[in-house]
């Protein structure tokens, strides 16, 4: 059994990172030139890590399945990025960001990691601005901030509703600069299909060139997986169509433990499903909750249009239930509250699986302020709405346009209809404080690891974590490992481990093509998604999870006997790519259900119906479940549980309250 040691440095919480950073073994510049690092994924974590490591002098190879690193799914993040700058003079601090994140994660994250994240958060903003990332500014020329859920300070930096795009393009530019200088070799349209482990250490990967179908061997002294989250296990999610778990799952099967797989974030504000043809769901940024008020009719099955329902017949249920945080409660709380109202028969729209997100009150309020700026006294309602709409448009214009495109409705006139959807996965490969998995030399960064968000991620924290890991953590921590690898010569690619890994990847591809069954990959993916959403979604229970496991096992059998993949393996073949991803999702889905079944408590995004307070809030069991569930792959889709106990020495563990 591999040892589960988180390698958290000794000392006071506030000194751990500084001390470690100053005492970390270094690799001298001459030696860096002969050390090769493989980076899988080119999103915020991957691009920032690849660029920074190349700047430091390492030889880097970076891989992405998209046609350009700029298209990694970080690009779609909308709302913002947190940093403890306290520019707003509202009492923010490193400690407060640390505290909010631990509490937001429902006390299921590691204190030391989260504190480090809060410490480096401010450096990220500095770095991005230096790269020319055009974050939003005020008229004085200084950076603007807005509020996000689960906090009472304004610490979120943003670029309209395109923060992820701007941050990723910053990291992409830094990466391409290194590509231009010949320090990073970029492999686009390549998908990692195997990790190569030589004498217990990660020494390379097998990647498929998606253009030619050729399997390629790439060796390195260390391998970094920055391959994102696995929300697409639910088929419908806000993830991009190509987002997948394959890189992480192959690593898992080669010995990397999988941490907290059941922790899934269901985002409260997404555009509802419109029909069976739906291929993905679209998020409406959490930032909208700054100015939008969420409500349902007070009357059950109310057939009236939103505009016909008078103010006193509307139930602003978040403001009613959580007066202190109101519409800005954390995502898990907001999502469950929406589900509760819809299940109770108060949902709106044709499907009745939606609630309203209404901007009218704040549009009018902004309009009144604008009118007063323009010396218009006692403005009429129409003037207020007209002026207010301009303000709303500047803040959220692109989001409103997206909504109008998808639904065919004008959100400036009608309230948005929203419903929760799968968005982010807090679980991921288990890593220690240095971001190393249980396989020496194999690291996981960003959403691909499990480390910082506990059982629920706060809004605007994913961008922060991805960039923290890539720009400011791995460049230091990887030195501790590589400084001991100086004597390691370039890894020969004809080593039996490479031959075996390539044969295994080829065997799986050949198998897909040889089944010649009757059902498409999407058929199985949709079925899996339905099982996962119903049995392991927003609310889970023992019976459902057991049924889910049995159904997934059955689905796996059908998949491997009735799959149809057209075309061949030696050409561009998207169906073949999807087959590999869905095969891995099916195995992961089973593990997620097992993990959810094992965790006999509710925490954050993991809500077990058997464990709730009288008011329907998540009820943790700190005595028995204050641990990270790290699963080891034991072959043939079986798993063994290991536990990393979570110790809270700096925060008093309490029941979360946002009332």
The catalytic residue positions are 331
Judged by beta carbon, residue 127 or residue 269, the one nearer other proteins is 127
Judged by beta carbon, residue 69 or residue 454, the one nearer other proteins is 69
Q: How far is CA 274 from CA 236, 240, 303, 564, in A?
A: 12, 18, 19, 28
**Least distance in angstroms from the C-beta of 369 to other proteins:** 17
Given the DSSP bridges, would you call strands 36-40 and 222-225 parallel, antiparallel or unpaired?
A: parallel
Judged by beta carbon, residue 42 or residue 461, the one nearer other proteins is 42
Judged by beta carbon, residue 177 or residue 253, the one nearer other proteins is 177
Judged by beta carbon, residue 6 or residue 207, the one nearer other proteins is 207
**Least distance in angstroms from the C-beta of 237 to other proteins:** 11
Given a contact cutoff of 8 angstroms between Cβ atoms, the answer to whether 499 and 512 are in contact is no
Rg of the chain over CA atoms, in angstroms? Answer: 24
d(CA 69, CA 75): 10
Judged by beta carbon, residue 189 or residue 299, the one nearer other proteins is 189
| Longest distance between any two alpha carbons in the chain, whole Å | 81
Short-list 224, 251, 225, 228, CA closest to 241 = 228
Neighbours of 441 (CB within 10 A): 25
Judged by beta carbon, residue 248 or residue 402, the one nearer other proteins is 402
**Least distance in angstroms from the C-beta of 215 to other proteins:** 19
**Least distance in angstroms from the C-beta of 495 to other proteins:** 31
Half-sphere CA count of 417, side-chain side, radius 13 A: 22
**Least distance in angstroms from the C-beta of 20 to other proteins:** 16
Give me 218's structure tokens.
Answer: 């790439």
Q: Which residues contact 590 (CB under 8 A, 6 or more apart)?
A: 549, 552, 553, 556, 637
Report residue 634: phi and psi, to 5°. Answer: -110, 15
d(CA 242, CA 252): 20
Q: Which residues contact 283 (CB under 8 A, 6 or more apart)?
A: 76, 78, 238, 267, 269, 270, 271, 421, 423
Q: Which residues contact 127 (CB under 8 A, 6 or more apart)?
A: 467, 471
Judged by beta carbon, residue 277 or residue 634, the one nearer other proteins is 277
**Least distance in angstroms from the C-beta of 98 to other proteins:** 20
Judged by beta carbon, residue 71 or residue 331, the one nearer other proteins is 71
110: left (phi over 0), alpha (psi -120 to 50) or beta: beta
Report residue 285: phi and psi, to 5°. Answer: -45, 145
With the C-alpha atoms ordered 395, 398, 403, 408, is the resulting torsion angle positive or negative? positive
Residues found in the chain: 659
Judged by beta carbon, residue 67 or residue 610, the one nearer other proteins is 67
**Least distance in angstroms from the C-beta of 154 to other proteins:** 14
3-state SS track over 49-105:
HHHHHHHHCCEEEEECCCCCHHHCHHHHCCCCEECCCCCCCCCCCHHHHHHHHHHHC
Q: How far is CA 234 from CA 423, 495, 531, 616, in A?
A: 10, 38, 8, 25
| Distance in Å from the first CA to the final CA of the chain | 44
d(CA 260, CA 251): 16
**Least distance in angstroms from the C-beta of 72 to other proteins:** 8
**Least distance in angstroms from the C-beta of 433 to other proteins:** 20
**Least distance in angstroms from the C-beta of 149 to other proteins:** 21
d(CA 294, CA 317): 7
Given the DSSP bridges, would you call strands 184-187 and 59-63 parallel, antiparallel or unpaired?
A: parallel
């Amino acid at each position: 059994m591999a040892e589960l040691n988180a390698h958290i440095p000794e000392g006071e919480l506030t000194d751990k990172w500084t001390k470690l950073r100053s005492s970390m073994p270094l690799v001298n510049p001459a030696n860096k030139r002969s050390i090769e690092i493989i980076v899988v994924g080119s999103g915020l974590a991957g691009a920032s890590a690849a660029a920074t490591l190349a700047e430091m002098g390492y030889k880097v190879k970076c891989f992405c399945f998209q046609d350009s690193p700029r298209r990694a799914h970080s690009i779609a993040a909308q709302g913002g990025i947190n940093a403890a700058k306290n520019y707003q003079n509202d009492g923010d601090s490193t400690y407060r960001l640390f505290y909010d994140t631990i509490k937001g994660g429902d006390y299921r994250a590691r204190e030391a990691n989260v504190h480090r994240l809060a410490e480096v958060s401010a450096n990220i903003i500095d770095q991005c601005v230096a790269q020319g990332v055009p974050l939003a500014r005020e008229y004085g020329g200084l950076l603007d901030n807005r509020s996000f859920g689960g906090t009472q300070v304004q610490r979120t930096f943003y670029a309209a509703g395109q923060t992820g795009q701007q941050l990723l393009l910053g990291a992409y530019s830094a990466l391409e600069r290194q590509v231009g200088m010949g320090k990073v070799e970029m492999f686009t349209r390549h998908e990692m299909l195997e990790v190569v482990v030589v004498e217990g250490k990660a020494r390379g990967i097998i990647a498929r060139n998606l253009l030619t179908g050729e399997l390629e061997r790439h060796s390195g002294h260390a391998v970094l997986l920055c391959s994102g989250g696995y929300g697409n296990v639910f088929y419908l999610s806000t993830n991009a169509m190509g987002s997948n778990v394959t890189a992480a799952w192959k690593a898992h099967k080669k010995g990397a433990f999988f941490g907290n797989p059941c922790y899934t974030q269901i985002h409260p504000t997404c555009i509802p499903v419109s029909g069976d043809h739906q291929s993905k769901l679209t998020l409406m940024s959490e930032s909208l909750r700054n100015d939008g008020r969420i409500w349902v009719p007070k009357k059950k099955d109310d057939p009236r249009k939103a505009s016909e329902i008078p103010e006193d017949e509307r139930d602003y249920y978040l403001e009613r239930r959580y007066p202190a945080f109101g519409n800005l409660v954390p995502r898990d709380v907001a999502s469950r509250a929406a589900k509760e109202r819809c299940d109770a028969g108060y949902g709106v729209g044709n499907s009745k699986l939606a609630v309203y997100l209404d901007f009218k009150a704040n549009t009018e309020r902004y309009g009144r302020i604008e009118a007063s700026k323009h010396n218009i006294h006692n403005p009429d309602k129409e003037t207020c709405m007209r002026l207010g709409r301009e303000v709303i448009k500047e803040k959220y214009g692109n989001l409103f346009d997206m909504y109008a495109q998808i639904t065919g409705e004008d959100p400036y006139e009608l309230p948005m209809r929203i419903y929760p959807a799968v968005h982010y996965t807090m679980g991921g490969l288990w890593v220690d404080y240095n971001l190393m998995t249980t396989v020496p030399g194999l690291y996981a960064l960003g959403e691909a690891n499990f480390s910082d968000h506990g059982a629920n991620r706060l809004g605007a924290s994913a961008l922060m974590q991805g960039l923290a890991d890539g720009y400011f953590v791995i460049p230091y921590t990887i030195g501790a490992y590589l400084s001991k690898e100086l004597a390691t010569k370039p890894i020969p690619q004809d080593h039996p481990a490479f031959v075996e890994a390539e044969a295994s990847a080829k065997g799986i591809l050949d198998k897909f093509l040889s089944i010649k069954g009757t059902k498409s990959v999407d058929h199985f993916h949709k079925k899996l998604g339905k099982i996962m959403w119903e049995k392991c979604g927003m609310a889970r229970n023992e019976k459902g999870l057991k049924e889910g496991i049995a159904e997934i096992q059955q689905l796996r059998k059908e998949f491997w006997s009735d799959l149809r993949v057209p075309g061949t393996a030696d050409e561009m073949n998207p169906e073949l790519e999807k087959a590999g991803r869905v095969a891995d999702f099916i195995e992961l889905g089973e593990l997620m259900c097992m993990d959810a079944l094992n965790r006999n408590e509710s925490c954050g995004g993991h809500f077990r119906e058997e464990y709730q307070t009288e008011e329907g809030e998540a009820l943790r069991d700190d005595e028995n479940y204050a641990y990270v569930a790290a699963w080891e792959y034991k072959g043939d889709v079986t798993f063994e549980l290991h536990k990393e106990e979570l110790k809270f020495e700096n925060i008093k563990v309490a029941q979360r309250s946002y009332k």
